[in-house]
Amino acid sequence: MTTQELINYYVNLLIIQYHDRPKAMATINALAAVLAMDMLLNQVQDGFDVATAVGAQLDILIKYVGGQRNIYSIDLTKTYFQFRDQADPAPPTQVSNGFADQASPNTPWYWLTPQDLVAVVTVLTDGQMRQLIQYLARVENMDFSMKNIDDLFFDFFGIYVTMADNQDMTMTVTHNATLDPSPLFRVITELNKLPHPAGVGLTVVTI
């Protein structure tokens, strides 16, 4: 039903003796228009409720919390050529400037090329979007105490994510990617949205 159809419906509810009175019809028309506008505002508000929003509505909502539906990452599966750090063990055959010659290296090395930088795209479903929006909104409104972070992980990831306070200004978060059926943890890791107290180092371990 359109807005005008709704207004006409209420105007036609007038008892018959008022149907031929223009002022009475105009008064009811004006009142019905105000009522219809109030209902329209409520519909807009309900349309952006995280629990019921879908599609483009979620795409708009997630922008307010710093997320997105399409998550882009790079999957590098080869061992690429790199410069040796001074603290690394010396190569088997030492030559000038830290380079080594090996006739038959045990590990094949590759030059990183543009063809290797193939983007891996994760497209979140509406259900996953709702989870991500709720997670990011909660992170934005929490204090980063160890207990609150632990509670956050349990509420969103259950037994698949655990946190350990190492008692040395560092914390370790362990994710059981083998059993976890949801991509949410990987997504928030790639978005750099894992919470930790200020000054505390964070290590993520995936098993």
Q: How far is CA 26 from CA 18, 30, 109, in A?
A: 11, 6, 83
For residue 108, give the DSSP letter. -
Q: Residue 47: which pLDDT band, with cuts at 50, 70 and 90?
A: low
Q: Distance (Å, rounded) from C-alpha 160 to C-alpha 33?
A: 53
> Does residue 133 register a pLDDT over 90?
yes
Kindly state the average pLDDT of the residues 149-171. 93
Extract long-range pairs of 111-117: CB within 8 Å, 24+ residues apart.
111/80, 111/81, 112/76, 112/80, 112/81, 116/76, 116/78, 116/80, 117/74
Confidence of residue 73 (pLDDT cuts 50, 70, 90): confident
* Band of pLDDT at residue 2, cut at 50, 70 and 90: low
- Does the pLDDT at position 170 exceed 90? yes
| β-sheet bridge partners, residue 74 | 119
Which pLDDT does position 72 carry in this prediction?
Answer: 80
pLDDT at 27: 76
Please state whether 175 falls in left (phi above 0), alpha (psi between -120 and 50) or beta.
beta
Please report, for residues 16, 29, 91, 185, the alpha-carbon distance to residue 24 in angstroms, rounded to integers and kept in the order given. 11, 9, 96, 61
Q: Is the distance from CB of 84 to CB of 74 less than 8 angstroms?
A: no
Q: In the chain, pLDDT over 90 holds for what percent of residues?
A: 32
For the entire predicted model, the pTM comes to 0.61
pLDDT at 13: 62
* pLDDT class of 49 with cuts at 50, 70, 90: confident
Domains of the chain by residue range: 3-47, 70-206
